[in-house]
Amino acid sequence: MAEEQNNPEFGAEAAAAEGQQGGQFQLQKLYLKDSSFEVPHAPQVYQEPAGQLELKLNIQQKAEVLAENQYEVTLTITVTAVLGEKTIYLCEVHQSGIFLIDGFPEAQRNAVINILCPTTLYPYARAQITQLVAAGGFPPVVLQPISFDQIYAQRLQQQQQEAAQSA
């Protein structure tokens, strides 16, 4: 344990997690809020010749204030597999967490909610999707890592452009 405390990288990571302003970020509860898996054309879809499925991925995020400095963040991931015009399966997972986010200026708090929270939730949602698809009788889906900081930066840029156009 003493080695971890003296390791400069460990200290840098801890400082980054707490923020330069002395902010605090803590996952208080992690849970699967909702999940569904549908095969609209079962059992016929299993009897048809296999083809190359096109996977469509939709990611949404919702943050709700529960109490002072306490937020519920829900990451919703929907995977739709289609073959031609036919939906083969639809898998949706709502992975949630309750986070303590305290001591950050507003801009940093928004970044924590939109980057760090979904980054924390994503691996759990991804694992649920893999399990549901495999349980549905299809080859497991392996979702690639996602850069939530890049998504957040694009969203901020889009908001700035919309504000400039309306001004």
* Residue boundaries of the structural domains of the chain: 21-159
Question: pLDDT category, 21, cuts 50, 70, 90?
Answer: low
Q: What is the pLDDT of residue 133?
A: 97
Give yes or no for residue 7 having a pLDDT over 50: no
CA distance 52 to 50: 7
- The average pLDDT across 64-69 equals 96
> What is the CATH T-level fold of the domain 21-159, as seen in this structure?
Bacterial Protein-export protein SecB (3.10.420)
Q: pTM of the full predicted structure?
A: 0.82
Average pLDDT, rounded, for the chain: 88
Please determine, for residue 148, whether its predicted confidence score (pLDDT) is greater than 70: yes
Q: Could you read off the pLDDT of 76-88 as tens digits, one per residue? A: 999 999 998 899 9
Buried b (16+ CB within 10 A) or exposed e, 43-63: eebeeeeeeeeeeeeebebee
Residue 100, pLDDT above cutoff 70:
yes
pLDDT at 6: 37
